[in-house]
Amino acid sequence: MERFVRILLLLTTPFLLAQGIERFNTTDLTENFKDGSFESETSGTTVVYYHCRNAGDYPISGEGIMLRRNDADPSPSAVEFHIPNGVGEFTFQYRKAFTGGNNRILTVTVNQEEVFLSPIFGNTSGEDSTIYTQTIPVFKEGNVVIRIAFPTSIANGNRHVTIDNVVWTSVLHAPIALSPSYVSVDHFIPNWEYDHAYDSIEINVFDYKNRIITQTESFEHGLDTTGYEALWEADLIGGRWILDNVLRTTQRYSGNYGAQLQADQGQLTSPVFFKPKSISFYAKKGTNDTSVTLRVMVNDEIIDLINFPITNDQFQLFTYAIPNPPDEAQFIFENGSRVLYLDDLTIVSEGVVKEMLPLSPYSMTSMSTSFPILDLEPNTTYFYTVRAEKEGLSSALSNEIELKTKDGVVWDGNEWLYGEPLINKVAILRGREVG
């Protein structure tokens, strides 16, 4: 009873606002895996499935649909929802099916763009009736195809998963962002237009400037937990990593977990980092001495950087500063001839990065079509988008507008900010602009 109440509470809001629902109660699914399609219980929506069956003895609350594995023969398991009139939020539930101990992991794509990668689940032998609920902000108008599947690089083998209680909300028509009506040294006034009445408007503002970015991966989530596998994918620092024969382990420098690399075959390949300046990590050997070879891939060319001997049975810090940092590079960590433990991998990079302002998103409840954005920096590029909300529903984001504040200085009542006033610079005196 307690689990039923918890599931009901989790799904109450999406069902109240739902544009679409699919509970798999009126399908042609049987206990045999097959490909096929059927018209959803939501009119106009088609559900297409590949190598799937009904939930059988592993339901969530109804018939459900079961995915099996990623094997190409006869086809990788997947289920797609072809939705014709846009999607706001998309919610579904999933659980482990059958009793095998292989890792389960799901990916969700929207119009062929990945938007979600689940944590690992169901990775111990025996039945596991834990139900997971995932809500994904889609906010796309028009025809939308949402696909739930296993990641393409996951190894072959059964990884049964039941999916059920799929719900999606409608999406409001997006406002149109217009060029700002005013741009000064330390503020601008964005503008927009709309053709519907809304309850509120949200303005998202980003700056765009050079930053030093320090990212540390502590391997608390995303690693394989049952056995060594090749080409395992995980969302770690910087994006999607490819992991070959890397396990989660309780051998760690900090936190609860670290990474264990298999002898001779353990390897981590990073996504692209922009202007990487340095890389550091903590490592220790297993029973025997080993090593780590650090390589970098630039323009599809792999270059050896350094080989670190790992001879200590306690975690030790290793650091490598990259001379003449390339504009773009991927890192490859390759283990030596014995097991290696790795933790707190840190990459420092530099680049012009778009970042949301601390006070963003700005919100207003009036039907005005402008709103001043204050306390900005001079001679800086900014971007903004607009989103509308009404009765618990949201619109897609508007088009994006780019602008640049004027080069100048500001008198805050006590001192000049951003330099001294010059003839060729705009000066702001307590909100009044002077040339």
pLDDT tens readout for residues 50-65: 999 999 999 999 899 9
Judgement on whether residues 312 and 420 belong to the same structural domain of the protein:
no
Judgement on whether residues 309 and 234 belong to the same structural domain of the protein:
yes
| pLDDT score at 6 | 36
* Span 305-335, pLDDT tens digits: 999 999 999 999 999 999 989 999 999 999 9
Q: Compute the average pLDDT of residues 371-378.
A: 93
Whether residue 209 is predicted with pLDDT greater than 50 in this model: the reply is yes
Task: Identify whether 199 is part of a domain.
Answer: no
Top-confidence residue, 113 or 11: 113
* Residue 435 CB coordination number (10 Å): 8
Q: Compute the average pLDDT of residues 20-33.
A: 94
CB 433 within 8 A of CB 183: no
Judgement on whether residues 34 and 139 belong to the same structural domain of the protein:
yes
* Span 63-83, pLDDT tens digits: 999 999 988 888 999 999 999
Instruction: Using pLDDT thresholds of 50, 70 and 90, give the confidence band for residue 429.
Output: low
Judgement on whether residues 131 and 263 belong to the same structural domain of the protein:
no
Report d(CA 20, CA 42) in Å as an integer: 5
Judgement on whether residues 241 and 309 belong to the same structural domain of the protein:
yes
Task: Identify whether 198 is part of a domain.
Answer: no
pTM (two decimals): 0.74
* Span 349-373, pLDDT tens digits: 998 889 999 999 999 887 788 999 9
Judgement on whether residues 291 and 375 belong to the same structural domain of the protein:
no
| pLDDT score at 231 | 81
Instruction: Using pLDDT thresholds of 50, 70 and 90, give the confidence band for residue 84.
Output: very high
Report d(CA 207, CA 234) in Å as an integer: 29
Instruction: Using pLDDT thresholds of 50, 70 and 90, give the confidence band for residue 433.
Output: low
Task: Identify whether 111 is part of a domain.
Answer: yes
Task: Identify whether 359 is part of a domain.
Answer: no
Q: Compute the average pLDDT of residues 211-223.
A: 90
Task: Identify whether 197 is part of a domain.
Answer: no
Judgement on whether residues 217 and 347 belong to the same structural domain of the protein:
yes
Q: Mind giving me the DSSP string for 51-97?
A: EEE--TTS-SSSS-EEEEE--SSS---EEEEEESS-EEEEEEEEEE-
Top-confidence residue, 256 or 41: 41
Report d(CA 23, CA 179) in Å as an integer: 45
CATH code of the domain covering residue 250: 2.60.120.260
Instruction: Using pLDDT thresholds of 50, 70 and 90, give the confidence band for residue 30.
Output: very high
- Phi, psi at 324, each rounded to 5°: 50, 65
CB 192 within 8 A of CB 369: yes
Tally of domains within the chain: 3
Judgement on whether residues 337 and 370 belong to the same structural domain of the protein:
no
User: Which ranges of 114-269 would DSSP assign to H, the alpha helix?
Assistant: none
Q: Compute the average pLDDT of residues 186-205.
A: 92
Judgement on whether residues 79 and 163 belong to the same structural domain of the protein:
yes
Judgement on whether residues 164 and 266 belong to the same structural domain of the protein:
no
Report d(CA 237, CA 218) in Å as an integer: 9
| pLDDT score at 5 | 35
Judgement on whether residues 236 and 309 belong to the same structural domain of the protein:
yes
Instruction: Using pLDDT thresholds of 50, 70 and 90, give the confidence band for residue 413.
Output: confident
Q: Which residues pair with 321 in a beta bridge?
A: 278
| pLDDT score at 156 | 81
Judgement on whether residues 334 and 406 belong to the same structural domain of the protein:
no
- Phi, psi at 80, each rounded to 5°: -120, 145
Whether residue 239 is predicted with pLDDT greater than 70 in this model: the reply is yes
Report d(CA 181, CA 372) in Å as an integer: 10
SS3 173: coil
Top-confidence residue, 221 or 360: 360
Which range marks the domain in which residue 224 is found?
Answer: 212-353
CB 272 within 8 A of CB 242: no
Instruction: Using pLDDT thresholds of 50, 70 and 90, give the confidence band for residue 193.
Output: very high
Task: Identify whether 246 is part of a domain.
Answer: yes
Q: Compute the average pLDDT of residues 8-27.
A: 68
Task: Identify whether 341 is part of a domain.
Answer: yes
Q: Which of 271, 281, 278, 290 has its CA nearest to residue 331?
A: 271
Task: Identify whether 360 is part of a domain.
Answer: no
CB 285 within 8 A of CB 270: no
| pLDDT score at 270 | 96
